[in-house]
A and B are shown apart, each in its own frame.
Chain A
Amino acid sequence: MIQTNNLKFKYDNDNTIFEFPDITLSKNQNLLILGKSGIGKTTLLHLLAGLLSPSDGSIHIDDVDIQKLTNKQLDKFRGQNIGLVFQNNHAVQSLSVMENLEARLFFAKKTISKTVIKDLLEHLDIEMCKNKKVRELSEGQLQRLGIAMAIVHRPQLVLADEPTSSLDDTNCKKVMRLLIEQADANNANLIVITHDQRIKPLFNKTLEL
């Protein structure tokens, strides 16, 4: 369950104060947050991920007030409970696909069997790339690796930042279906922030900023 109250944020060198509407998501609910560029979409996502601290308000994820966590506790909480998908998918360059997933689990302090990881890679159609370095992957493979990285540790919340903005219609639907399917399969809440109206029909709950 995700709940935010009176969330506000101000950057140090900027007078603009971002004020965000309250969000309440029950178990397995997904949310699409739409908004133009510069409205604070990524800021909201980073606040939810605990990468930024709000100037005011509170964020509860599964009854945990993440404002009250120490930095170390927050790192651990983020690692174990949140999965992030980025617009341009990235992974650690010096590691292979499999090693990236192992590193993800190591930092999350979670143990998942290799068979489960293999099944996930097979499902995402990148099992044959498991020993390849990140730089050897195609854009599509990289995108699927990004999704795998976001869900491999079975998080409570998956946050996706503009996951489809650079994709054509076919791939856009493909990626979103995959993301929703994986979030559902892991009983995770999925919050997608985007300005891409094409994916609106896939969500039954949306929020306009």
Chain B
Amino acid sequence: MNIWKISVKNFRYKPLYTFLGILILSVSIALLVGIQQLDTSFRKQMENSLGDIDMVVGAKGSPLQLVLASVLHIDNPTGNIPYEEAKKLLKNPMIEKGVPISYGDNYMGYRIVGTTPEFTALYNAILKEGKNPEKPMEVAIGATIADATGLGIGDTFQSSHGLAETGGHAHNDLLKVVGIYEPTHKVMDRLIITGLQTVWDVHDHESEPSYSKEGRVVEQEKHHHEEGEHHHNEEGHEHEHEEEHEHEGHEQETEHGHQEEHEKEITSMLISFRNPMALLTTPRTINENTNMQAALPKFELERLYQFTGVGVKTITWIAYAILVISCITIFISLYRMVRDRAFDLALMRSYGANTFQLIKMVAYEGLLISLIAFVIGVLLSQIGIYFIFEMITDQYKQKMPLELGFQELFKTAVLVLLMVLFSILLAINPIIKMNISKILSHEK
């Protein structure tokens, strides 16, 4: 027999009290850990997705929308900008590099981004298999897409116009998967990467007369779309395979000639600065002197956190409030235990137990409750977060790593421990002031 065994026996003696104490404390710990982990994961996810992007230049409109659309790929773009004009920005010595992106199509809800090879370097994306797209109509896909769609090297698919999974009409052109990236846990995982030329070609094909294998002109049908307008060939569906072969020659021989370089447009230019001083002057210069808009992702996302942070803070404070309540419950539970078992405790004193041994007995009981509650709380939070992340994956096509922030967990554990110790300190007061003679004289 020892103090620990007696504490465990006491702990099990009144299971309802114990269960209630554990339940309330677990819920508050689950909320605290869960909200901290969610907040950290979201911030990390967004910061990760920024990559090396210091500034985004796009069409005039909401800067936050521009950042959400071009960096996080979760909103519609503000419009298009002339590629030639965007390229002029790169002459600025403060700018290290600029990566153009152009999009407007999707495959099963995953955005197809036309860009240059530098794009993958922004996110340190490494090819798992295959190669980076080199020719028009070649694409490389992110890890999430490979998992979700089952697309593999050599597979082909038709893109749909627009950014929504449903509603857009399918383009005739077949895109061919030539590469699959390793998971980055960044926005890259849910993007289909291709060359700029692919995006231009897909839309140009349909704005120009198409030719059948026999060389006859196929009738066109115009479609109006949210982000602009392009044409496509409805009958092309019947000739998908033939058209795939047609493209290679067709693109090189005819399409490139149809549009002059200076007429080409992109959605935005992702820019990395050579010097942080550029943050102060470059965006203002662009906003004041061009028809384009410059937005700073870090600044815009910080603004976004300020909006969403209110909700996070509110839930955090609710969790703290529940934690305080649960510690009060533990205090009441321990205090009641000390009062209800006053005779038992006095009896133990008469057996030779000293005050410190009785305090240890109560403390062990409180610590046992908090330890079990902590384990259950963390488990509950992880189960909750797993389902939230699954929902996010479904909704935003973005897989988020289910990582437990040990620093946050440690902080929460210390906080819970301090509050439980405080509850124990208050609860043991009757033991310290115990008058054994009086308690034993007033026998039950």
Contacts and interface: CB of A to CB of B under 8 A. Distances in A.
Contact of B2 (A80, A88, A93, A106): A106
A75 B1 contact: no
Interface stretch (B7-15, B50-58, B143-151): B7-15
Nearest to B5: A99
Contacts of A109: 352
A75 B353 CA distance: 6
B351 interface: yes
A51 B436 CA distance: 6
B444 interface: yes
A154 interface: no
A43 B341 CA distance: 22
A109 B353 CA distance: 10
B348 interface: yes
Given A52-B437, A107-B353, 13 more contacts: A46-B441, A51-B350, A72-B354, A75-B354, A78-B350, A79-B352, A86-B443, A88-B444, A90-B344, A92-B347, A93-B341, A99-B9, A107-B348
A92 B348 contact: yes
Given A99-B1, A107-B357, A79 B351 contact: yes
B352 A108 contact: yes
Given A102-B1, A103-B1, A91 B347 contact: yes
A42 B441 CA distance: 7
A94 B10 contact: yes
B369 to A, nearest CB: 15
A95 interface: yes
A95 B341 CA distance: 12
B211 interface: no
Interface string A79-91: 1100010111011
Contacts of A43: 437
B351 A107 contact: yes
A157 to B, nearest CB: 13
Interface in B1-52: 1-2, 5-6, 9-10, 12-13
Which of B5, B352, B437, B440 neighbours the largest number of chain A CB atoms within 10 Å of its CB? B352
A75 B443 contact: no
A71 interface: yes
A97 interface: no
A149 B351 CA distance: 9
A90 B351 contact: no
B343 interface: yes
Contacts of B351: 79, 103-104, 107-108, 149
Contacts of A8: none
B393 to A, nearest CB: 48
Nearest to A98: B1
Which of A78, A79, A94, A95 neighbours the largest number of chain B CB atoms within 10 Å of its CB? A94
A105 interface: yes
Interface in B395-444: 436-437, 440-441, 443-444
A10 interface: no
A76 interface: yes
A59 interface: no
Closest 7 CB pairs of A and B: A79-B352, A94-B13, A102-B1, A107-B352, A107-B351, A106-B1, A75-B354
A72 B352 CA distance: 9
27 contacts: A46-B437, A51-B436, A75-B355, A79-B353, A86-B440, A86-B443, A90-B347, A90-B443, A91-B347, A92-B344, A92-B348, A93-B13, A93-B341, A93-B344, A94-B10, A94-B13, A94-B341, A94-B344, A99-B1, A99-B9, A102-B1, A103-B1, A103-B6, A103-B348, A107-B351, A107-B353, A149-B351
A174 B396 CA distance: 82
Interface string A103-117: 111111100000000
Which of A79, A91, A105, A107 neighbours the largest number of chain B CB atoms within 10 Å of its CB? A107
A197 to B, nearest CB: 22
A75 to B, nearest CB: 4
B339 interface: no
Interface string B263-284: 0000000000000000000000
Nearest to B7: A94
A170 B12 CA distance: 38
A109 B2 CA distance: 11
Interface string A5-17: 0000000000000
B349 interface: yes
Contact of A75 (B13, B341, B349, B440): B349
Contacts of A88: 443-444
Contacts of A80: 352
Given A51-B436, A52-B437, A75 B352 contact: yes
A121 interface: no
Contacts of A93: 13, 341, 344
A149 B164 CA distance: 79
B343 A90 contact: yes
Contacts of A94: 6, 9-10, 12-13, 341, 344
A49 to B, nearest CB: 7
Interface in B216-251: none
A88 B442 CA distance: 10
Nearest to B6: A103
A95 B357 contact: no
Nearest to A52: B437
Contacts of B343: 90
B339 to A, nearest CB: 14
A71 B357 CA distance: 13
B435 to A, nearest CB: 9
Contacts of A71: 354-355
Interface in A138-161: 149
A105 B351 CA distance: 8
Contacts of A78: 350, 352
A84 B344 contact: no
Which of B343, B347, B354 neighbours the largest number of chain A CB atoms within 10 Å of its CB? B347
